Amino acid sequence: MSILFTDFNLDDAKEVWREEAREEGLEEGLEKGIEQGIEQGIEQGIEQGIEKGIEQGLKEKAVTIAKKLLGRNYPIADIVEDTGLTYAEINQLIAEG
């Protein structure tokens, strides 16, 4: 027994196949996009964390140096210039004792 396909049936089959292929392609593209987005987000988070850690470490080092210089009675203007801290930050260190 042979099955006869009319042009109408063949066209319908092609359309169904195209639609299924399109849906599969969209799903696959969405999955890949999500994976790439997650990977990119993790990389950016790590980079930002490293940068923030470095900045915090440099700030802490400047504060430590400023405290030593204050203990040696260095002029505040020199401490500001040498450490990069602001006058307000130096004055806060003085107030904290």
* The amino acid at 22: R
Question: 86 phi and psi, to 5 degrees?
Answer: -85, 165
Confidence class of residue 20 from pLDDT cuts 50, 70 and 90?
confident
User: The tokens 């923030």 sit on which residue?
Assistant: 52
Percentage of the chain exceeding pLDDT 70 = 92
Residues 58-88 as b or e (16 or more Cβ within 10 Å = b):
eeeebbeebbebeeeeeebeebbeebebeee
CA triple 59-88-93, angle to 5 deg: 65
* The amino acid at 87: Y
pLDDT of 8 strictly over 70: no
The whole-number pLDDT of residue 3 equals 56
